[in-house]
Amino acid sequence: MSIRHGLLALLERGPRYGSQLRTEFESRTGSTWPLNVGQVYTTLARLERDGLVAPGGEDSAGHTLYAITEDGRTELRAWYERPVDRANPPRDELSIKLAMAVGAPGVDIRAVIQSQRHATIKAMQDYTRLKARALAAVESGQSRERDDVAWLLVLEQLIFQTEAEARWLDHCESRLVRLSLPADRRAAEPEPPQAADPADPAGTPHPTTAPAPTTTPPRAARTRRG
């Protein structure tokens, strides 16, 4: 995730200091991707080195303020306009785990899949409940802050992501069952169904699995809008 460009986007609204940037970043994303102050100041130092931000004096409490430069604004505009590159996808722990579990001695890969499916469905249900609250607040007029709208978009992305993960886990299990059949039966079996079109906005939790033990959603710390 581009912390670099996220900080530039916040600085475009005016000079800020490190702790303030961290707080606003987490507020905008619902603490889904928490930052520490050291990470923020390291990123600011690199942005300053690259000429994208510059020290902008101090506030009344003596905090060093940082301001975006014209080069920084140009870089930010280019980031907004540039599609996210999917040529080198980030490492995904679940994909790596299943890849390593295939054929691993003493590992029941179907049990691994089932355990993950429970956790994925529970996370999706948590996200869906949080979305309902956020949407009700925004649509009722109780809250029109840009942070609330931004958090709603993040929640919806998390819901789509967990829906896709649940479908993929179902596909993996079907694939493993088919590959475990003798060759003659495998030839007669149909291929596992392909995942649904990601453009189709599935709006309900995955129906095949009961909820797992409660997990803590990333927005749990932000209770003022609950």
Among residues 29, 213, 201, the alpha carbon closest in space to that of 121 is found at 213
Report the C-alpha gap between 157 and 128 in whole angstroms: 11
Distance of CA 139 to the CA centre of its chain: 23
What confidence tens digit (pLDDT) does each residue in 106-161 have?
999 999 999 999 999 999 999 999 999 888 878 877 655 777 888 889 999 999 99
Q: Are 121 and 209 a contacting pair, CB within 8 Å? A: yes
**CB contact set of 208 (below 8 Å; sequence gap of 6+):** 117, 166, 170
- Half-sphere exposure of 142 toward its Cβ, with a 13 Å CA cutoff? 9
Using a 10 angstrom Cβ sphere, with 0-12 exposed, 13-18 middle and 19 or more buried, the burial of residue 166 is buried
CA angle in degrees (0–180, nearest 5) for 90-146-7: 45
Token pair, residue 9, equals 């986007």
Residuewise pLDDT in 10s, the chain (226 residues): 589 999 999 999 999 999 999 999 988 887 777 888 999 999 999 999 999 999 988 888 889 999 999 999 999 999 999 988 888 877 889 999 999 998 889 999 999 999 999 999 999 999 999 999 888 878 877 655 777 888 889 999 999 999 999 999 999 999 988 887 555 454 555 665 555 544 454 444 444 444 444 444 554 444 444 4
Report the C-alpha gap between 196 and 191 in whole angstroms: 15
Strand partners, 53: 68
CA angle in degrees (0–180, nearest 5) for 82-86-89: 135
